[in-house]
Structure 1
C-alpha cells in the first residue's frame, strides 16, 4: 500500500503599504521553489482583521509566516507585532520585519516584542529581490514552521 502525502502550500501574509515593494515581494515569491500562497494587506488594521478572520477575511487560511513592514498608516508594524505576540491564537506565527528602517531602536523594539527576524529592505531592486529570495529559501525551505 502506498501513501501519498499531500503537500499544502505555505500561507504567507505580507503587510506592506508600498505597492511597489509589495509587487516586488509577490514577484520574488512567485518564483519560489516552495509552493506558497501570498496574501497582501496594506496596513496594520487590515492585517489584524485578516489574522482574526473577520469580515471579508472570514474564510482565509491562517498564515504560516508574516512579513511585516514597520512604518504604515492606521496601525504601524510595532503595534501589529505587539498584538500578534499577545494573542494566544497568533503568537506562534513567525513574524519577519521587512522594513526600510535600519534604526537601532526599531531593531531592539522588534526583538523586545518577540519578532522572529529583522531585515532591512535594500533600496536597489535587484538586491531587494535577492533578499526576498533568501527569506524564502530560509523560512520556507529550511525552517520547520509550526502548524495550526
Structure 2
C-alpha cells in the first residue's frame, strides 16, 4: 500500500496519521506532505507497514526539511521505526519521541503483542531503567521483550 497521510487537530499540535509503506515511491507523497505541515506536528507511525532503505533516505530528507522552523514529534513508533531511529540517528532528526511500541512474547503460551511505552508514563528516560513486568493477556504468564531492552531504547541516550 502506498504511503498516505491524514491530519487531525490535537490542541495546538496537529497529528499527522501515516499509513502504508515508506519506500522509493514515497518521495512524492512526502513532498506533498511537506507543503501542508503546520508549525507543530506529531507524526503517528502506528499504521506504517514497512520501511525500506530507499524509504529511509526519503524520510531523512523529508524530516530534515520538516524540522526547519517547526516542532516535530513522533508517536506510536512501531518496532521497525524504532529500529531505524536506533540505526540511523538522522531518521529522527530533531523530533521528540513521545511513544513507541515494543514487541513482547509470552514464555508460557508463545502469545505475541506490542506494548506501548509513553513519555511521562512507562517510557524510560535513561538506559538501564527497570521496566515494569508485562503480563500475558491470554494466560497471565510473564512476557519478555523480543529485543534487548537497552538496545531497543538506545535512542533514549542519544
Same fold, judged at TM 0.5 (above) = no
Higher helix share: 1
> Which TM-score applies when normalising by structure 2?
0.38
> Which TM-score applies when normalising by structure 1?
0.40
Higher strand share: 2
